[in-house]
């Protein structure tokens, strides 16, 4: 029985208490008793979670308006969620990244996997971008930022309050500079190239750090050949391939600002004369390139999430199949195709099947050489499949 002054929330008798005890971090809305008292709790409230027999299970943050009604904060129901508590978790996260990377460019906090539920922090040298995607993090933003500055020494902090996750939590969208000044894109050195991260107006936190290892593997396949980077954003795969010796690269994206950043990154890397860009709908551009019989030694397609939730899975799988069908004819005989998915709702098996079907419909035969995932600065919880969202298939195509 809870004896603390904190409110309590209780699991229904049919809820899967065992999964929670074994590390699953979420409680869904249909798993807790939602009486009038529970519904009256403000989003982000800290409460003691009890099982159906009223035995304490830990300290959770509650959001009665969200599908994820409670997130496990600490197994100790008496834990104090303050700057010291946050700093301890940040120090653990930082120690891992310091071991992994010689330079301070990485994802510092990957939400539940780093024991800070719903919080994403990307670090770009002396600047950090924080995404408080859970109501508790929004409510504790000031101590969270103070701890971040104290632990890491960053002197510039941007709050990126954009994206679907915040909408699901009932949080408003906004991007604001919380510490220091930011007036231009931030240069980020990775895989021998310089990338330009627009931390105020770009997608996500400005750069897709999760693809770093996949950029490097693809660059090895490019050799001295020609590369097509479709859905290129700021030139992730293209710039890495050029830095590794690719003869030339064409970056395709629907966003003119993103392509301008790709060009700026190429110039900063001394690669500007080998990068071309083309703005347009990726599907239409691939069809047009095929009509001219264009061929590339390496083709990469890294689209946005076509299936961000389960309800979109069927449509998303059709879209991934279409990407593969349009990309495969653009690969030169014996060349390489890289297909990526960042959809939480599409697991690896389904993505591989859809991609293989698309390649086959294009009349090509593929060998899968390697399957890539997010880098180790994006750790996953074994109990939470959603934390392992990124998949990348590296194929060699015959014929």
CATH number, domain of 393, equals: 3.40.50.150
Residue among 189, 176, 203 at smallest CA distance from 257: 203
Q: CATH no. for residue 159?
A: 3.30.750.80
Residues 303 and 381 in one domain: yes
Q: 251 pLDDT exceeds 60? A: yes
Together in a domain, 260 and 310 = yes
Number of domains in the chain: 3
Per-residue pLDDT at 385: 78
Residue 192, in any domain of the structure:
yes
Mean pLDDT of the 194-201 span: 95
Q: Are 101 and 156 in contact (CB under 8 A)?
A: no
Q: What is the pLDDT of residue 31?
A: 93
pLDDT one-digit tens code per residue, 54-73: 999 999 999 998 999 999 99
- Residue 200 belongs to domain spanning: 186-398
Alpha-carbon distance of 348 to 3, in angstroms, equals: 45
pLDDT of residue 95: 98
Residue 23 domain flag: yes
Q: Are 346 and 372 in contact (CB under 8 A)?
A: no
pLDDT tops 90 at residue 202: no
In a domain, 281, yes or no: yes
Question: Of the ranges 10-19, 280-289, 352-361, which one carries the lowest mean pLDDT score?
Answer: 10-19
**342 carries an active-site annotation:** yes
130 and 87 within one domain: yes
Average pLDDT over every residue of 371-383: 95
Q: Quote the tokens at residue 68.
A: 């994820």
Question: Can you give the pTM of this predicted structure?
Answer: 0.93
- Same domain for 199 and 172, yes or no, is no
Q: What percent of the chain has pLDDT over 70?
A: 99
pLDDT bin (cut points 50, 70, 90) of residue 1 is very low
Residues 70 and 91 in one domain: no
Instruction: Write the pLDDT tens digit of every residue in 72-86.
Output: 999 999 999 999 999
Using only C-alpha atoms, the chain has a radius of gyration, in whole angstroms, of: 23
What three-state secondary structure class fits 259? helix
What one-character-per-residue DSSP string does 28-80 give?
EGGGB---HHHHTSPTTEEEEEE-TT--EEEEEEE-TTSSEEEEEEESSTT--
Interior/surface letters 59-76, b for 16+ CB within 10 angstroms, e for the rest: bbbbbbebebbbbbbbee
Q: Please give the full DSSP string across 101-166, using - where no structure is assigned.
A: -SSSEEEEEEGGGGTSTTEEEEEETTEEEEEE-SHHHHHTHHHHHHHHHHHH---EEEEEE-SHHH
**E-assigned strands of 217-364?**
226-230, 248-253, 275-279, 296-301, 331-341
Give the separation between CA 71 and CA 81, rounded to whole angstroms: 13
Rounded to the nearest integer, the mean pLDDT of the chain is 94
When mean pLDDT is compared across 13-17, 228-232, 336-340, the lowest value belongs to 13-17
Q: Is residue 3 part of a domain?
A: no
Are 61 and 89 in the same domain? no
Name which of 276, 200, 273, 204 is nearest 235 in CA terms: 276
**Which of 90, 246, 342, 393 does the annotation list as catalytic?**
342
pLDDT in tens, 308-361: 888 999 999 999 999 999 999 999 999 999 999 999 889 999 999 999 999 999
Question: Does 386 score more than 80 pLDDT?
Answer: no
At 152, list the tokens: 């890491």
Q: Is residue 113 located within the same domain as residue 198?
A: no
Domain shared by 94 and 224, yes or no: no
pLDDT computed for residue 4 by the predictor: 54
Domain contains 174: yes
Eight-state DSSP code of residue 206: S
For the domain that residue 51 is a member of, what is the CATH number? 2.30.130.10
Residues 224 and 369 in one domain: yes
The answer, yes or no, to whether residue 2 has pLDDT greater than 70, is no
Same domain assignment for residues 309 and 381: yes
My answer on whether 62 and 118 are in the same domain is no
């Amino acid at each position: 029985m809870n004896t603390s002054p904190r409110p309590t929330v209780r699991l229904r008798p049919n809820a899967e208490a065992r999964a929670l005890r074994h590390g699953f971090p979420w409680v869904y809305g249909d798993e807790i008793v939602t009486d009038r008292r529970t519904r009256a709790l403000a989003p982000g409230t800290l409460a003691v979670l009890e099982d159906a027999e009223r035995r304490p299970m830990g300290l959770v943050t509650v959001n009665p308006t969200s599908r994820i009604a409670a997130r496990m904060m600490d197994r100790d129901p008496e834990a104090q969620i303050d700057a010291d508590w946050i700093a301890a978790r940040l120090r653990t996260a930082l120690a891992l990244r310091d071991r992994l990377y010689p330079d301070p460019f990485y994802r510092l906090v990957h939400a539940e996997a780093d024991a800070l539920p719903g919080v994403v922090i990307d670090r770009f040298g002396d600047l950090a971008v924080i995404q408080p995607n859970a109501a508790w993090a929004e409510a504790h933003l000031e101590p969270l930022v103070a701890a971040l500055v104290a632990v890491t020494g960053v002197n510039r902090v941007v709050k990126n309050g954009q994206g679907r996750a915040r909408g699901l939590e009932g949080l408003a969208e906004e991007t604001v500079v919380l510490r220091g000044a930011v007036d231009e894109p931030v240069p980020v050195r990775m895989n021998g190239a310089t990338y330009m991260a627009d931390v105020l107006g770009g997608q996500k936190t400005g750069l897709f750090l999760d693809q770093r290892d996949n950029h490097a593997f693809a660059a090895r396949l490019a050799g001295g050949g020609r590369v097509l980077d479709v859905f290129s954003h700021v030139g992730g795969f293209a710039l890495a391939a050029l830095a590794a010796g690719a003869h030339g690269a064409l970056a395709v994206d629907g966003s003119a600002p993103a392509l301008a950043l790709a060009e700026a990154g190429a110039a900063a890397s001394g690669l500007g004369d080998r990068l071309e860009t083309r703005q347009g709908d990726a599907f239409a551009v691939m069809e047009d390139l095929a009509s001219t019989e264009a061929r590339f030694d390496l083709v990469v397609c890294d689209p946005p999430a076509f299936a961000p939730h389960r309800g979109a899975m069927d449509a998303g799988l059709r879209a991934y199949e279409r990407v593969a069908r349009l990309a495969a004819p653009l690969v030169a005989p014996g060349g390489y195709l890289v297909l990526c998915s960042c959809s939480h709702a599409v697991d690896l098996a389904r993505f591989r099947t859809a991609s293989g079907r698309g390649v086959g419909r294009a009349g090509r035969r593929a060998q899968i050489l390697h399957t890539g995932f997010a880098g180790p600065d994006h750790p996953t919880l074994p109990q939470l499949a959603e934390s392992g969202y990124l998949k990348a298939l590296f194929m060699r195509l015959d014929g």
